[in-house]
Amino acid sequence: MTLRFTPQVTEGNLVRLKVFQEITDLAPSSVGDVNEVGPTLTKRLLRNTVLAENGKTVVLGGLIGTNSQISETKVPFLGDIPLLGWLFKTQNTSNKKTNLLIFITPRIIRDAGDLADITRRSHDAMQSFRIESMGQDSVEAERRLAPYLDIDPEGPPAAPGPMQQPAGEVPAAGEVGP
C-alpha cells in the first residue's frame, strides 16, 4: 500500500490535503504458468483533495476489494482417479471483501509548544496501546533497552529547544560559552 499526502494550510485554520493512495495485490494468474509469465497484479487507486479543519478528523473510503479463492483438498493418488476421484476430494470456496477506511486528523503546528503537545499525546496513546495489546512485559523490556535506543521510557521526547554545547568543549574564537 502506498499513501501520500500533500498538505497546504489555508486561511481560517483549514488544511487542504491532496491524497494519493494505491493498493497493489497479487491476483490468481489467469494466463499461463506464473513461473513463465510472471505474477498478475491488481491495483486500486484513489486520488482526492479534501479540505479539513485543524484538529478535525476526515474519513476517506471507497477502496473496496473482493477476493475469491477456490482450494482443493484430496487424498493423494485416489483424488486423481477419473470419475471416482470426486469421492476422495473436496473443494472449498472462500470469498473475502475488504473496505479500507483511512482516518486523517490534520494538525497545524505553529511553534515548538504545539509540537511538544502533539508529541506528548501521540507518545501517551502509543504507550497505552502497547500496554493494552502486549501486556506489561513489553514496557519492562523498553525500560531496559532505553539507554541503548536513546529513548526516555518515562515520558515523551522533549520539545525542541536551543542547542546546548556539550560540557568540556571550548568555545571557538569570538563565541561565548555557556
pLDDT at 55 over 70: yes
pTM: 0.53
Say which residue, 161 or 9, is predicted with more confidence: 9
pLDDT tens for residues 148-176? 555 555 554 444 444 444 444 444 444 44
Q: Is 41 helix (H, G, I), strand (E, B) or coil?
A: strand
pLDDT at 33 over 80: no
pLDDT at 147 over 60: no
> How many Cα atoms within 13 Å fall on the side-chain side of residue 151?
14
Cross-strand partners of 19 = 5, 48
- The whole-number average pLDDT for the span 27-41 is 70
- The DSSP code for 130 is H
List the Cα angle 18/20/23 in 5-degree steps. Answer: 160
Q: Note the pLDDT of residue 165.
A: 40
C-alpha cell at 81: 482417479
List the Cα angle 71/75/78 in 5-degree steps. Answer: 120
Q: Note the pLDDT of residue 49.
A: 92
Q: Is 19 helix (H, G, I), strand (E, B) or coil?
A: strand
Q: Where are the domains of the chain?
A: 2-66+96-108, 110-158
CA 164 to chain centre: 35
pLDDT tens for residues 81-99? 988 888 899 988 888 888 8
**Diameter over CA atoms, the chain:** 95
pLDDT tens for residues 100-141? 888 888 988 888 988 898 888 888 877 777 777 666 566 666
Nearest to 105 by CA among 12, 28, 22, 17: 17
**What's the pLDDT band for 35 if we cut at 50, 70, 90?**
confident
